[in-house]
Amino acid sequence: MTSERAANRRQKLLRQLKKTGTDALLITNPINVSYLTGFTGDDSFLLLGSDVAVIISDSRFSTQLEEECPEIDAVIRTSSVSMNGSVSRTVKQAGINRLGFESQTTSFQQWERLDQDMKSLELVPVDSVVEKIRQVKDKFEIGETRRAVHMAQRGFEVIKASLTSGQTEIDVANELEHTMRGFGASGVAFPSIVAVGPRSALPHAHPTRKTIGESDFVLFDWGAETFSGYRSDITRVITTGKPSARLKKIYEVVRLANRRAIEAIRPGARCCDIDKIARDVISQAGYGKNFGHGLGHGVGRVIHEHPRLSPTDSTELRAGMIVTVEPGIYLPGFGGVRLEDDVLVTRGGCEVLTSLPLDYEESIVAL
Ligand code: GLY
Ligand code: MN
């Protein structure tokens, strides 16, 4: 990452911090530290304010910090100084009176130590301020997500073309990961789901030794990660045996819910309203009880990011956001269908980054 890009992100954050009235923010989420500095190591915190920018780290990372973010000061603690103690010392030296901290990732132990070490320090919980900036992706991030989608899709096409009835869910998941790495992925975006027949009724099924031939359909939910850390997230269901009327029925409902939701994605649309469009399609078909999760989520450096396409998120979509659209119907004992695309919000509407076929007829594979 260029130092200019990281500097722009820090400026955006400083503008947001002004609204909290804090002198600085202690950033403890490693993805946020990386996003704001370009540093790719771990176990390091960033203290950022208008008068301070310092990473608190240890000697494993001193060379890496000089290479990746030379413009940021570094406090390299020795093994005899704890991270918590080093944070207190750095905050004291910076003369901070009101310190914001990331309320979702700062440990209670860290909070307690700061509270004990500096009686006059005011500690202010700050919720998801960096995550909200991360919602809107820049050109580089969009390009990386496109690559993550491309690698995942190519991997899937190879797997689909060579699928045999004797392969287990575990075999297929392993092969998918290996194939995506062959296409340039650093790894999987999350543990791949390969779920045969009734197992697909579990939205987050783990692969087992069940074989592909044991049922008539298989659900795949997988994604690739690029070396810069961007991820894709796709779900498709393929039909491997005699198509059943019940499967076709729920497939068509989910397909329609996916299409209707995507048609409504544009800047200014509220996440909860997009969720409702898909949920209404599924409810009107009589399967409302069988769609328990949100419609989708932001995807980027982390597989589930802000915003959430869910009934409880009223965030307005903005150009540059990338969200998944993944309606599903799950029938315990029978199986489930989820169809998931990755969608970029554009100025004029949206662009679906995923391009694997979605229509039922195209889901049929002869083994
Ligand atoms: N595709 C996995 C998930 O969104 O939870
Ligand atoms: Mn997803």
Instruction: Say yes or no to pLDDT of 201 above 90.
Output: yes
Other beta carbons within 10 Å of 202: 15
* Nearest ligand 1 atom to alpha carbon 221: 1
CA distance 349 to 212: 39
Interval 213-240: pLDDT, tens? 999 999 999 999 999 999 999 999 999 9
* Nearest ligand 1 atom to alpha carbon 293: 5
Which comes out higher in pLDDT, residue 1 or 209? 209
What lines the ligand 1 site, CB under 6 Å? 190, 221, 233
Instruction: Say yes or no to pLDDT of 1 above 80.
Output: no
- The ligand minimizing its distance to the Cα of 204 is 1
> Rounded mean pLDDT of 318-344?
98
Interval 132-160: pLDDT, tens? 999 999 999 999 999 999 999 999 999 99
- pLDDT given for residue 87 in this prediction: 96
CA of 297 to the centre of ligand 2 (A): 7
Instruction: Say yes or no to pLDDT of 6 above 90.
Output: yes
**Mutational pocket test of ligand 1: of 206, 222, 304, 330, the residue with most ligand atoms within 8 Å of the beta carbon:** 304
CA of 166 to the centre of ligand 1 (A): 26
Architecture of domain 3-132 in CATH? 3-Layer(aba) Sandwich (3.40)
> Rounded mean pLDDT of 184-209?
97
- pLDDT given for residue 242 in this prediction: 82
CA-based torsion, 276, 282, 285, 291: positive or negative: negative
Interval 21-62: pLDDT, tens? 999 999 999 999 999 999 999 999 999 999 999 999 999 999
Q: How confident is the model at residue 367 (pLDDT cuts 50, 70, 90)?
A: confident
> Rounded mean pLDDT of 100-110?
96
- pLDDT given for residue 243 in this prediction: 75
* Nearest ligand 1 atom to alpha carbon 340: 1
- The ligand minimizing its distance to the Cα of 219 is 1
Supply 86's token pair.
Answer: 């080093």
CA of 75 to the centre of ligand 1 (A): 37
- The ligand minimizing its distance to the Cα of 222 is 1
**Mutational pocket test of ligand 1: of 232, 303, 339, the residue with most ligand atoms within 8 Å of the beta carbon:** 303
Interval 237-248: pLDDT, tens? 999 988 799 999
- pLDDT given for residue 3 in this prediction: 85
- pLDDT given for residue 301 in this prediction: 97
- pLDDT given for residue 366 in this prediction: 87
**Mutational pocket test of ligand 1: of 149, 340, 341, the residue with most ligand atoms within 8 Å of the beta carbon:** 340
**Beta strands 24-27; 328-331: pairing state:** unpaired
Domain boundaries along the sequence of the chain: 3-132, 139-363
Distances (CA, A) of 267 to 278, 316, 346, 351: 18, 7, 7, 12
CA of 240 to the centre of ligand 1 (A): 23
CA distance 338 to 363: 13
- pLDDT given for residue 153 in this prediction: 98
CA of 98 to the centre of ligand 2 (A): 38
* Nearest ligand 1 atom to alpha carbon 296: 4
- What value does the mean pLDDT of the chain take? 97
> 5-14, 240-249, 352-361: lowest mean pLDDT where?
240-249
- The ligand minimizing its distance to the Cα of 223 is 1
- pLDDT given for residue 26 in this prediction: 98
CA of 221 to the centre of ligand 1 (A): 7
Angle of helix 30-37 relative to helix 3-20, nearest 10 degrees, comes to 120
At the topology level, CATH places domain 139-363 in: Creatine Amidinohydrolase (3.90.230)
Supply 39's token pair.
Answer: 């540093």
Q: Give the whole-number percent of the chain exceeding pLDDT 70.
A: 100
Q: What is the pTM of this model?
A: 0.96
Interval 284-299: pLDDT, tens? 999 999 999 999 999 9
